[in-house]
Structure 1
Amino acid sequence: MTTMTVRAEQRQQQTLSPRLQHAVRLLQLSSLDFAQEVHDALGKNPFLEGEDVDLDPASGAAAVPLAAGTVADATVADDADAAGAGNADLDNGSDGERDSWQADSYGSQRRGEDGEMSVMDTMAVETSLTAHLHGQLNVLSLSQREVVLAKVIVESLDDDGYLRADMAELLSIAELDPMPTEEEMQIAIGRVQALDPSGVGARSVGECLLLQLADIACPQARETARRIIAEHLPSLAAKDVNGLARTLSRTPAEIEAVCERIRRLDPRPGWRFGGSPVQYVTPDVIIRKVRGQWAVILNPVIAPRVRLNHVYAEMFARHRCAQNTEMAAHLQEARWTVRNIEQRFATILSVSQAIVKRQKHFFEYGALAMKPLGLREIADEVGLHESTVSRVTNNKYMATPLGVFELKYFFSRAMTTASGGACSATAIRGLIKDMIEAERSSAPLSDAEIARQLAQQGLVVARRTVTKYRQLLKIEAVERRRVHS
């Protein structure tokens, strides 16, 4: 028979307070997500207010140079003053000028104070591939049935401009009476393939390239290119010039010229239209050399100035009562937000300074001078936990004279050399890149040969590791790099 007992037990358990949870969440956000988080907080919390960020170069604010490969967002100051000045000009002007300005404001061209068009007015509007093709179909003399079939093909194209759907699927999409035949659909496909850009509507890479052969003026070269694409596409991909020359009874020089012309064709014609917008990285810190020393500067663009609205806070303190629990929560959250924002940037700055201190040779000499570095070393130096350092280095970027790098780029495990020393994996990748760049195109280095040469320099690296590093560097395999003479 079981009996029930009651006992007291003491246990220690570490829990995160709401404020610490909020600080951790802000710390691990990227600069773009953090800016959105602050913007949302300013919009819904009455106790928070933002300050305009002065990005005038004369004020000493740091800006990311274009050479670093980063575009920094710019904030236009005094927008309200500029709008007020514009309205004052309208009030002082004549009715005709006011009418003219209003007409422009309703149109697509918005003008500045000096009467010139703004930069946004001069930006080209991207046209999608489907819109481009529909525009061409609309000016052709086609029957309603032919237009519908052609538009079915256009709407079935993918982002590359290829027709991946099979014939049965195309026939089911076209809701026509009577149901279209395969012959009608083939005619519609040919009609779309005749549109601009050349190669659109193809069902394979080979067909896409064949549709573009009309751009080759020389009939003999065009015929040779057709045979290479139609019959020997794998040899073209492998750059087997000598094999193609023997098969086609041409000289290697002729084959090389034709292959070079084929490589200038566009295997993805759809990419010319409506491409996805480029996502620019805004660095969190900027590295500059000041008086012979590397200095770390917070990027003012990503450091919003948020402060507590003391007027509202004092009014709430004077009229506080038991029913104002929601406002009290807003006030507490506002105080947390201000302190956590300060803590976020102080942590990013301290971690970045520790990284620059350890990797100063990288900034002087490049990737080959990168030292092995672990999270624990930085954590011990700045007095943080390793998990905190990991959150700081994720999705945070550093602008340097050598380019823009994620903070975690500067961490790599140590690899022991034959002499007993240590070398970072980043330095080995840089060495592999230099070796491949210096190789002869007719006799490129295999991964095994690269591993052997590294061993001669005292770096014992397995061939599969060389392969992994080469793939990380986005360098093709040895046969793809070989140029046959």
Structure 2
Amino acid sequence: MKPSLVLKMGQQLTMTPQLQQAIRLLQLSTLDLQQEIQEALESNPMLERQEEGDDFDHVDPLANGDELPTPGNQEITFKDTTTTVDMPDVDESEWSDRIPGELPVDTAWEDVYQTSASNLPSSEDDEWDFTARTSVGESLQSHLLWQLNLAPMSDTDRVIALSIIDGINNDGYLEESLEDILSSIDPELEVELDEVEVVLRRVQQFEPAGIGARNLRECLLLQLNQFPAKTPWLTEAKRLASDYLDILGSRDYSQLMRRMKLKEDELRQVIELIQSLHPRPGSQIESGEAEYVIPDVIVRKHNDRWLVELNQEAVPKLRVNAQYAGFVRRADSSADNTFMRNQLQEARWFIKSLQSRNETLMKVATQIVEHQRGFLEYGEEAMKPLVLHDIAEAVGMHESTISRVTTQKFMHTPRGIYELKYFFSSHVNTAEGGECSSTAIRAIIKKLVAAENAKKPLSDSKIAGLLESQGIQVARRTVAKYRESLGIAPSSERKRLV
């Protein structure tokens, strides 16, 4: 084959740096967006925050005459809290001639403009707070080691205790056998198995109660042993936990009453004492880092109308620094002027991306409120089926854009704070030919279980029959799936003595 030149025509989807930046900002959560804005403020001198009382009567250079879209339903309104820009009263031709309106596609900011990443806080900065970035909650292991340091022990016992603590899982149970713990200890210490068991008893006296147990029976007995001797029904509770725990797990209360020779009311009080114990004592120690949710959208009812507005406290308003923008000159091609012109263009597009993010978020949130007004009025049972395609069609956007907008974005409503994805759910057909949301079905199942007879809990088949009587056609396996998603145990495990 000979090499040859061939001309071909085709279409290819490409993205400009501006579009890439807008998409990236759109999918950020509020906390991530705040960090992104802070980094932009530190790296770009052309950006500054709008302070309270600032005058923003200047013409917005980003405005193109288009008004923000308003929802079709007159009962739903929203307030525009989009980012504004304040520009100096200078001739725009002085600095805009050399700033392109669009950048070439498939490029990055760093390819065209200088960045100031070196100005970001480093680990050597005096103001850099190391603990704020690395601190986490107390772990179970550190909690036990803290108690071990306070306990009077010999050096050999302390080595054994360290091996025991290493074998305790997050639930507080000792996973390793005493023989394995003994084999992990230095043979030169000449430790015997009896010594390991004695040290284990010492560790089991640490807090929380029940720590270091090897099974559920031992865990419950360790906790019961810490109750005062005069506690009512303590002896019977110890006997139940020691000898009849399997029967209690099978909910065979008749057999329990016969074997323990207790009446129904007496057995109920013994079981209540057992249920007051913690089956996973290690989980009481909070080891995770605290997570905070900042709502992006606030929904409230005023004069029988639902108002939708952006959370003004979540994202600060930005503007272009008037003083620095006034230093940019058209004819000056020095390195300093080029740097400032590049920073000015980057600031303008960053603000425009924020404005686009706010507008898109408002469109989507308004349509969600319009579709789910029944939920806001009456609760989960009034939730309507909703998928991404419905919102995408209403706002004239692609489903992938709606998915980005609803990810890690939260709405504050009179009923609580919900992620925007919470309002989307599949549908189930009804007997009348309509549709019922899966979220509404879960709420009905939860309501039916809460009102059931504790002695004869509803089975999945019975719940499916009750739903069918309400016109909702749901299979038994679907009921089981919804029940498990709600964290509701099967009927055999929900049986109680009343």
Q: When the two structures are superposed, what TM-score results if normalisation uses the length of structure 1? A: 0.78
What one-letter code is carried by the residue in structure 1 that aligns with 2:159? V
Residue 135 of structure 1: how far off its partner (Å): 4.9
> Helix, strand or coil for the counterpart of 1:302?
coil
RMSD, aligned α-carbons: 2.7
Q: 1:456 to 1:137 in 2, by over 3 A?
A: closer
Q: 1:273 to 1:441 in 2, by over 3 A?
A: same
Residue 128 of structure 1: how far off its partner (Å): 5.3
In the alignment, the residues of structure 2 paired with residue 152 and residue 209 of structure 1 have an alpha-carbon distance, to the nearest angstrom, of: 23
Q: 1:285 to 1:4 in 2, by over 3 A?
A: same
Partner of 2:377: 364
Residue 234 of structure 1: how far off its partner (Å): 3.3
2:62 matches 1:49 = no
Partner of 1:419: 432
Alignment of 1:55-454 (within 5 A): 129-130=140-141, 132-167=143-178, 169-171=180-182, 173-175=184-186, 177-214=188-225, 215=227, 217=229, 221-317=233-329, 320-321=332-333, 323=335, 328-454=341-467
In the alignment, the residues of structure 2 paired with residue 329 and residue 231 of structure 1 have an alpha-carbon distance, to the nearest angstrom, of: 78
Structure 2 unaligned segments of length 5 or more: list them: 54-135
Alignment of 1:10-49 (within 5 A): 10-49=9-48
Q: Is the 8 A contact 1:53 1:304 kept in 2?
A: no
Q: 1:253 to 1:331 in 2, by over 3 A?
A: same
> Helix, strand or coil for the counterpart of 1:423?
strand
What one-letter code is carried by the residue in structure 1 that aligns with 2:402? V
Alpha-carbon deviations, 1:102-141, whole Å to 9, x = none?
xxxxxxxxxxxxxxxxxxxxxxx97654555445444544
More helix by share: 1
2:480 matches 1:467 = yes
What one-letter code is carried by the residue in structure 2 that aligns with 1:335? R
Alpha-carbon deviations, 1:29-84, whole Å to 9, x = none?
11111111112222222222223479xxxxxxxxxxxxxxxxxxxxxxxxxxxxxx
> Helix, strand or coil for the counterpart of 2:189?
coil
In the alignment, the residues of structure 2 paired with residue 292 and residue 220 of structure 1 have an alpha-carbon distance, to the nearest angstrom, of: 55
Alpha-carbon deviations, 1:281-338, whole Å to 9, x = none?
2111111111110000211221221222232233244685375666554433322211
Alpha-carbon deviations, 1:113-170, whole Å to 9, x = none?
xxxxxxxxxxxx9765455544544454432222232233234433333222333553
Q: Is the 8 A contact 1:241 1:256 kept in 2?
A: no
In the alignment, the residues of structure 2 paired with residue 382 and residue 271 of structure 1 have an alpha-carbon distance, to the nearest angstrom, of: 45
Q: Is the 8 A contact 1:240 1:484 kept in 2?
A: no
> Helix, strand or coil for the counterpart of 1:258?
helix
Residue 219 of structure 1: how far off its partner (Å): 8.4
Q: 1:368 to 1:198 in 2, by over 3 A?
A: closer
> Helix, strand or coil for the counterpart of 1:321?
coil
What is the aligned length? 414
In the alignment, the residues of structure 2 paired with residue 201 and residue 20 of structure 1 have an alpha-carbon distance, to the nearest angstrom, of: 56
In the alignment, the residues of structure 1 paired with residue 173 and residue 451 of structure 2 have an alpha-carbon distance, to the nearest angstrom, of: 38
Q: 1:225 to 1:45 in 2, by over 3 A?
A: same
Q: 1:474 to 1:273 in 2, by over 3 A?
A: closer
Q: Is the 8 A contact 2:137 2:289 kept in 1?
A: no
In the alignment, the residues of structure 2 paired with residue 142 and residue 410 of structure 1 have an alpha-carbon distance, to the nearest angstrom, of: 57
In the alignment, the residues of structure 2 paired with residue 224 and residue 335 of structure 1 have an alpha-carbon distance, to the nearest angstrom, of: 75
Q: 1:140 to 1:290 in 2, by over 3 A?
A: closer
Residue 444 of structure 1: how far off its partner (Å): 1.4
In the alignment, the residues of structure 1 paired with residue 230 and residue 492 of structure 2 have an alpha-carbon distance, to the nearest angstrom, of: 30
Q: 1:274 to 1:463 in 2, by over 3 A?
A: closer
In the alignment, the residues of structure 1 paired with residue 450 and residue 443 of structure 2 have an alpha-carbon distance, to the nearest angstrom, of: 11
In the alignment, the residues of structure 1 paired with residue 305 and residue 232 of structure 2 have an alpha-carbon distance, to the nearest angstrom, of: 63
2:456 matches 1:477 = no
What one-letter code is carried by the residue in structure 2 that aligns with 1:191? R
Q: When the two structures are superposed, what TM-score results if normalisation uses the length of structure 2? A: 0.76
Q: Is the 8 A contact 1:53 1:301 kept in 2?
A: no
In the alignment, the residues of structure 2 paired with residue 476 and residue 465 of structure 1 have an alpha-carbon distance, to the nearest angstrom, of: 15
Q: Is the 8 A contact 2:182 2:196 kept in 1?
A: yes
In the alignment, the residues of structure 1 paired with residue 331 and residue 33 of structure 2 have an alpha-carbon distance, to the nearest angstrom, of: 33
Residue 449 of structure 1: how far off its partner (Å): 0.8
In the alignment, the residues of structure 1 paired with residue 357 and residue 242 of structure 2 have an alpha-carbon distance, to the nearest angstrom, of: 59
What one-letter code is carried by the residue in structure 2 that aligns with 1:447? D
Alpha-carbon deviations, 1:214-265, whole Å to 9, x = none?
2163589334323332333333234332222223333232222111101111
Residue 175 of structure 1: how far off its partner (Å): 4.0
In the alignment, the residues of structure 2 paired with residue 379 and residue 141 of structure 1 have an alpha-carbon distance, to the nearest angstrom, of: 67
What one-letter code is carried by the residue in structure 2 that aligns with 1:467? A
Q: Is the 8 A contact 1:368 1:426 kept in 2?
A: yes
Residue 423 of structure 1: how far off its partner (Å): 1.7
In the alignment, the residues of structure 2 paired with residue 369 and residue 131 of structure 1 have an alpha-carbon distance, to the nearest angstrom, of: 47
What one-letter code is carried by the residue in structure 2 that aligns with 1:26? L
Q: Is the 8 A contact 2:384 2:440 kept in 1?
A: yes
What one-letter code is carried by the residue in structure 1 that aligns with 2:206? L
> Helix, strand or coil for the counterpart of 1:163?
coil
Q: 1:369 to 1:134 in 2, by over 3 A?
A: closer
Identity within the alignment, %: 42
In the alignment, the residues of structure 1 paired with residue 12 and residue 150 of structure 2 have an alpha-carbon distance, to the nearest angstrom, of: 74
> Helix, strand or coil for the counterpart of 1:466?
helix
Ranked by relative contact order (alpha carbons within 8 Å, sequence separation 6 or more), the top structure is 2
Residue 460 of structure 1: how far off its partner (Å): 0.8
Residue 9 of structure 1: how far off its partner (Å): 0.9
Q: 1:233 to 1:52 in 2, by over 3 A?
A: farther
In the alignment, the residues of structure 2 paired with residue 252 and residue 441 of structure 1 have an alpha-carbon distance, to the nearest angstrom, of: 14
In the alignment, the residues of structure 2 paired with residue 237 and residue 317 of structure 1 have an alpha-carbon distance, to the nearest angstrom, of: 81
